[in-house]
Amino acid sequence: MPQVETLRGPIDTAQLGFTLMHEHVFVLSQGVPESFPSVWDEEAQIASAREKLRELADLGVQTFVDLTVLGLGRNIPRLQRALEGISLNVIIATGLYTYNELPQYFQNRDIDVMVDLFVRDITGGIQGTKVKAAILKCATDEPGVTPGVEKVLRAVARAHRRTGAPISTHTHSGTRRGLDQQKVFAEEGVDLGRVIIGHSGDTEDIGYLEEMLKRGSYLGMDRFGIDIYLPTEKRVAVIARLCELGYADRLVLSHDASCYIDWYPAELVRSTVPNWHFRHISEDALPALRKAGVNEEQIRQMTVESPRRIFEHSGPY
Ligand SMILES: [Zn+2]
């Protein structure tokens, strides 16, 4: 039986079940709560996260991929506390989240230093714990493939080839950044079928999406609820169209939501993106997809079969 590493150790991929492929528990401005602990109430937020995660498990979600890496405030011991006693598989990521510059540490060192650290997270354990990462994360936003971003993309590609862990990305779809990522990965010899181009659900540009699909990548239709980028009915229509075109086995779903994010005042999040929460896909998006003609088999592909295939398709090369 193929296995995948989770917060609680390895499990059979057959146990993954209904999987949200791009979420977060805590998203914190790197360094801010460490320097100024008064900016949040950590204990209260851990308690609140536990409630939200339990609610999610009660909805039938079995696995949650937490793509929180360096740059988003990854902290494994805190995550372990939030998940204590909750029956949810959590898959952990390594990598680096930046739209442009690198932390000085990486800026002034060879790329191999970064590659070795990512590999160590996957093969040894993270932050002194036995928890191993099972997926690699990187980002390319509007500024494009800047020198810092390029170093991360290449380091992620090399760590992927050394370990076989799949790659999941953040993109700015308005500037078609997914194609830029595919180009760098291809130069590094990456099998693009082992890459998920994230935030592809933010656009209605079917031509752009098909171009990436034709190169074999999975697309993350993974920001359900962020209506200010694209409202749910439009996200649903794009997925229904891609299913019609035969790509249901190349799409994965998620919200890119978090139990707690410190980037914006909580009030602002509640008022501008009220649907941005972990229940939105189960309660609203799946019924809307069915209404738009997406059948049960296609929904199963997006929520169960593809996530499983992504984590089974492993091994260095
Ligand atoms: Zn994210």
Chunk the chain into consecutive blocks of 10 residues (it has 317) and report each block's average pLDDT, rounded to whole numbers.
Answer: 95 97 97 96 97 95 98 97 96 98 97 98 97 98 98 98 98 97 98 98 98 98 97 98 98 97 94 95 97 98 98 89
**How many beta carbons lie within 10 A of that of residue 234, not counting itself?**
15
What is the spatial distance between Cα 94 and Cα 110, in angstroms, rounded to a whole number? 18
Q: How far is the CA of 38 from the centre of ligand 1 (A)?
A: 25
| Cβ partners under 8 Å of residue 44, min gap 6 | none
Q: How far is the CA of 254 from the centre of ligand 1 (A)?
A: 10
Q: How far is the CA of 23 from the centre of ligand 1 (A)?
A: 6
CB 246 within 8 A of CB 302: no
Q: How far is the CA of 140 from the centre of ligand 1 (A)?
A: 12
At 181 the pLDDT is: 98
User: How would CATH label the architecture of 3-312?
Assistant: Alpha-Beta Barrel (3.20)
Q: Is the pTM of this model over 0.75?
A: yes
Q: How far is the CA of 68 from the centre of ligand 1 (A)?
A: 7
**Element holding 94 (H helix, E strand):** strand 89-95
Q: What is the secondary structure of 148-171 as a DSSP string?
A: HHHHHHHHHHHHHHHH---EEEEE
Sort strands 135-140 and 167-171 into parallel, antiparallel or unpaired.
Answer: parallel
Q: How far is the CA of 292 from the centre of ligand 1 (A)?
A: 26
Which position has the token pair 């499983």?
308
Q: What are the start-end ranges of the E strands in the chain?
A: 3-6, 9-12, 19-27, 63-66, 89-95, 135-140, 167-171, 195-197, 218-221, 251-253, 258-261
Q: How far is the CA of 24 from the centre of ligand 1 (A)?
A: 6
In the chain the first and final C-alpha atoms are separated, in Å, by 20
- The DSSP secondary-structure symbol of 74 reads -
At 112 the pLDDT is: 98
At 313 the pLDDT is: 78
At 248 the pLDDT is: 98
Q: How far is the CA of 170 from the centre of ligand 1 (A)?
A: 7
Q: How far is the CA of 99 from the centre of ligand 1 (A)?
A: 13
